[in-house]
């Protein structure tokens, strides 16, 4: 695993869960399906839980379950839950020399923020259940 693996893992798991929303799955099960480690699964899914997309229960017969109907979970929800921020340009610790540079920097940041919002809007148009194929 390498590129965007958190997003990939999250999407695979959620889409898979959308098939049987009531079934409780352990992180070990999920990890086996995803070819990774239970701790990694808990790390990623923990973020989705914080965002209210999943619930987890400890102890015997514990595990993970969708917190909402899959039709109500959009890709934007997942993206924002993971806090990936794919687009945002670097914060530039290099203090701009002249005011022209400074203005340019702000201009670019603003444009990139608009682009990211467009991406989020687009992600909001697709739900987990659609990804799975209804």
Partner DNA sequence: ATGAATGCAACAGCAATAGTTACGTTTGAA
Partner DNA sequence: TTCAAACGTAACTATTGCTGTTGCATTCAT
Per CB under 8 A, residues contacting a copy of itself are 1-5, 7-8, 11-12, 15-16, 33-36, 75, 85-94, 97, 101, 103-105, 107-108, 111, 115, 118-119, 122-123, 126, 130-133
Q: Where does 27-102 show beta strands of DSSP type E?
A: 54-57, 63-66
Q: Would you tell me the crossing angle of helices 75-82 and 38-50 to the nearest 10 degrees?
A: 110
Instruction: Return the range that interacts with DNA (CB under 7 A); candidates 28-36, 97-105, 109-117, 119-127.
Output: 28-36
Q: Which residues contact 24 (CB under 8 A, 6 or more apart)?
A: 57, 61, 62, 63, 64, 65
Instruction: Return the range that interacts with DNA (CB under 7 A); candidates 14-22, 29-37, 66-74, 106-114.
Output: 29-37
Query: At its nearest, how many Å lie between DNA and the CB of residue 4?
Result: 8
Q: Which among 60, 33, 30 is positioned nearest to 46, based on CA atoms?
A: 30
- 61 contributes a contact to DNA by CB under 7 A: yes
Query: At its nearest, how many Å lie between a copy of itself and the CB of residue 56?
Result: 22
Which residues of the chain form contacts with DNA (CB under 7 A)?
1-2, 5-6, 25-28, 35-40, 42-46, 49, 56-64
């Amino acid at each position: 695993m390498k590129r965007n693996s958190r997003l990939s893992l999250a999407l695979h798991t959620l889409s898979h869960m959308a098939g049987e929303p009531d079934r409780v799955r352990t992180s070990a099960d999920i990890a086996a399906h995803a070819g990774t480690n239970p701790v990694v699964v808990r790390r990623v899914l923990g973020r989705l839980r914080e965002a209210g997309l999943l619930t987890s229960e400890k102890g015997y017969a514990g595990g993970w379950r969708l917190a909402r109907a899959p039709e109500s979970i959009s890709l934007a929800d997942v993206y924002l839950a993971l806090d990936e921020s794919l687009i945002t340009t670097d914060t530039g610790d290099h203090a701009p020399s002249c005011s022209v540079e400074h203005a340019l920097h702000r201009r670019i940041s603003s444009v990139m923020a608009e682009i990211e919002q467009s991406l989020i809007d687009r992600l909001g148009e697709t739900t987990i259940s659609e990804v799975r194929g209804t």
